[in-house]
Chains A and B, each alone.
Chain A
């Protein structure tokens, strides 16, 4: 299985400040079609996961532009330029290149 490792697991952030979450995979996520199937999900308390970013850096419709994704190969990052109160929740990375596996999750809270 491809192991996805996120850090940090807990992320206290002051409102208006930036935040960054790292996700590393145990092997390259480049698929045979040349794409990298790495996505980021936000899960607010009591809700189902919502996709924010797909194929590393593509923002989903309706997702604020303060969210951005970057990376390649085995090393990926989700950045929030200015954290707002509605961003509280758990963030997961997910790879869909070799079956499907998720990271452990990063809990973002307001400091």
Chain B
């Protein structure tokens, strides 16, 4: 059974940092591209970042570029999101999502999410 379990969320002050983790199981992790998607309260989901199977290629939404860094460790079956210079508008539930693996993007599995609250 595919499982994605996020952790690392919490309350942080504006300008602060946080590191999220996503532990994967139930599939060959190194064969799948992975993403972070966030959802602010009452809003639609918003794609945040992508990492290739090897970790060499990474993409970011304009809203987080230069502040967030995605990485992965295939030995640990995990991806990470280092979030710096956090702003109030970064407040959201952060999900990791597996890309099904076709040429385009298709998220077939999501984790349960971890809540990040940026507030003083």
Please list the residues of chain A having a beta carbon within 8 angstroms of any beta carbon in chain B.
Answer: 31-33, 35, 37, 39, 47-51, 54-55, 60, 92, 94, 96-97, 99-105
A-B contact count (CB 8 A): 59
Chain A residue with the shortest CB-CB distance to B6: A48
Q: If A100-B47, A103-B44 touch, does A48 touch B106 (CB 8 Å cutoff)? A: no
Check B44 against A104 for contact (C-beta < 8 Å): yes
Which partner residue on chain A sits nearest B107 by CB separation?
A: A51
Listed residue (A32, A39, A50) with the most chain B CB atoms within 10 angstroms of its CB: A39
What are 30 pairs between A and B in contact, CB < 8 Å?
A31-B104, A32-B103, A33-B103, A33-B104, A37-B102, A47-B112, A48-B95, A48-B113, A49-B45, A49-B95, A49-B110, A50-B110, A51-B106, A54-B100, A54-B106, A54-B108, A55-B106, A92-B44, A92-B45, A94-B107, A96-B105, A96-B106, A97-B105, A99-B105, A100-B37, A100-B105, A102-B44, A102-B46, A103-B44, A104-B44
Asked if B9 CB lies within 8 Å of chain A CBs, one says: no
CA distance A48 to B95 in the complex (A): 8
Complexed CA–CA distance, A51 and B45 (Å): 13
The distance in angstroms between the C-alpha atoms of A10 and B23, with both chains bound, is: 35
Q: Roughly how many angstroms separate A55 CA and B101 CA in the complex, as a whole number?
A: 12
The bracket for how many chain B residues form the interface is 20 to 34
Tell yes or no: B14 within 8 A of A by CB. no
Lowest 6 CB-CB distances: which A-B pairs, in order?
A96-B105, A37-B104, A100-B47, A33-B103, A102-B44, A96-B104
**Are A37 and B108 interface neighbours, CB within 8 A?**
no
Q: Are the C-beta atoms of B106 and A105 separated by less than 8 Å?
A: no
B108 cross-chain contacts in A, Cβ below 8 A: 51, 54, 60
Q: B105 contacts A48, CB within 8 Å?
A: no
In the complex, chain B residues whose CB is within 8 Å of the CB of A100: 35, 37, 47, 105
* B111 on the A face (CB < 8 A): yes
Nearest residue, chain B, Cβ from A92: B44
Out of A32, A33, A39, A103, name the residue touching B107 (CB < 8 Å): A39
